[in-house]
Amino acid sequence: MDTGRGAYFSWTSRRVMLPRTLTAVVAGTASRSGLTMDRQVATATVRGRLLAYHDADGGHDYVALMVGDVQGGEDVPVRAVGEERLLLEGGRSGLPAEILVGTDDLDEAAEQRELDRQLCCDGPLRCLLCCSGARSVTVDWCSVAAA
């Protein structure tokens, strides 16, 4: 398995190195994949960026909240959170930097596994996270209690 320099795979999580070739330019349209929104978020409890990515192939839109300063960050944790709770969870985050990916709220465990799959095998979520500016992210592919 080619995991890249400095990558690891543990019982419950994995580290994924992100390429630095993608830039955060809002370019997505109905016929093209790409970022459709890149906004700074500053409230009493949340400071960071809100990114939205349109996948033209699948016809799906993805949203992520970058809590804190993830630009150039190493091993930034990524987790799936229901879209309706995205800003609430971001405000509760006690980490200096974290990425929260919005999901449909139906099955967060399944969404977390899909996030892990797309990070490893390429997909629109990986493209979205590449635009965050982080150098590497860590994703839990299984709950600690199940391990």
pLDDT in tens, 82-140: 888 888 888 888 889 999 999 876 666 777 777 777 877 778 888 888 888 899 998 87
What band does 39 get if pLDDT is binned at 50, 70 and 90?
Answer: very high
pLDDT computed for residue 25 by the predictor: 53
* Average confidence (pLDDT) over 24-36: 67
Q: How many CA atoms lie within 13 A of 116 on its CB side?
A: 17
Q: What stretches of 18-96 adopt beta strand conformation (E)?
A: 34-42, 47-55, 60-68, 76-82
Which long-range contacts link 108-113 to residues 24+ away (Cβ below 8 Å)? 108/80, 108/81, 108/82, 109/143, 111/80, 112/79, 112/80, 112/139, 112/140, 112/141, 113/141
> Alpha carbon of 33 to those of 23, 27, 61, 63, 71: distances in Å?
13, 8, 10, 13, 22
Instruction: Please give the model's pTM, rounded to 2 decimal places.
Output: 0.80
Residue 26, pLDDT > 60, answer: no
Which long-range contacts link 17-22 to residues 24+ away (Cβ below 8 Å)? 17/135, 17/136, 18/126, 18/129, 18/130, 18/132, 18/134, 18/135, 18/136, 18/137, 19/130, 20/135, 21/130, 22/127, 22/130, 22/131
